[in-house]
Amino acid sequence: MDQFIQEYLDFLIVEKGLAANSIASYAEDLSRFADFLEKNKISCLTRADTTVILAWLVHLTRKGLAPKSRARHLITIRGLYRFLVSQGHARTNPVTDVDIPKTGQSLPRIMSIPEVEALLGMIDTTRPKELRNAAMLEIMYGAGLRVSELIHLKLSDINLDANLVRVMGKGARERMVPIGSQAGKLARQWKDQARPLVLKKLTSQYLFVARGTNPMTRQGFWKIIKKYAAKAGISRNISPHTLRHSFATHLLEGGADLRSVQTMLGHADISTTQIYTHISRDYLLRMHEKYHPRR
């Protein structure tokens, strides 16, 4: 059982190019599934049938997992069995006829444009590390980056003459994204003036350094956003991904087409990007109700 799971994880790393965090999530889900099989006297993955898969879902429900989490587990083991069939280890996929638990469509949290401006306006850019923070926030909002993409940007990834960043996204997909003039201005100031002061004669390949030559951690950047959100008087929960969601929504509200937003976000499938159209539709309805003479 462990051998088959490890083969599948190796396949996801080598062939699919999944990130370390994704691999860790897959490994945890598959380990829990393997433990369930062993406790039910099933010694091999290929001996599990559809009845066993349904029992696994019941087990997850009794453990209190939400539909979204149960759906993730089911998708994980469906992919595992699809791999086993393709490699000749299993004859059939017992998950094929099992429906994914309905999760509903949760709309992402977004910030209004005034809230974004208030957040970005809270930073004292006369101090080196504050200038770094300002440049990071501007680039995240200006390019709609994931936090992992932002903190791992290298010096070679940014073109300040064209105000573009090269991003290595999920599945090792590379994309070029504009960052805007304000983000470019702050990034140049950080790179040329403040970054050497923070590094103190050390060298680093990373654009945004924290301690020593190391990039900032995800948790460190999350704390930065929380700090400035509190200063700006934004009481609700704001995360790094909130800026990415806001980037996409504000572009669509401003008239950008969905394909362009998909490209900038680095989504492999446009259906992932379409969730933002629901937010923009709500915005359009509010505007119609507010301004149309026959509302």
Q: What is the DSSP letter of 127?
A: S
Please say if 244 is a catalytic residue.
yes
Please say if 81 is a catalytic residue.
no
Please say if 146 is a catalytic residue.
yes
**Cα(121)–Cα(129) distance, rounded to whole angstroms?**
15
Asked whether 45 and 37 are in contact (CB, 8 A), the reply is yes
Out of 82, 166, 241, 283, pick the active-site residue. 241
Q: Which tokens go with 146?
A: 């994931």
Out of 72, 244, 245, 250, pick the active-site residue. 244
Out of 8, 81, 228, 276, pick the active-site residue. 276
DSSP 3-state helix, strand, coil percentages of the chain (rounded to 5)?
60, 5, 35
Out of 166, 170, 175, 188, pick the active-site residue. 170
Q: Which residues pair with 178 in a beta bridge?
A: 164
Please say if 267 is a catalytic residue.
yes
* CA distance from start to end of the chain: 63
Out of 72, 73, 146, 245, pick the active-site residue. 146
**Cα(155)–Cα(25) distance, rounded to whole angstroms?**
30
Out of 72, 132, 152, 267, pick the active-site residue. 267
Please say if 281 is a catalytic residue.
no
- Taking the alpha carbons of 63, 65, 69, 71 in that order, is the dihedral positive or negative? positive
Please say if 152 is a catalytic residue.
no
What residues act catalytically?
A: 146, 170, 241, 244, 267, 276
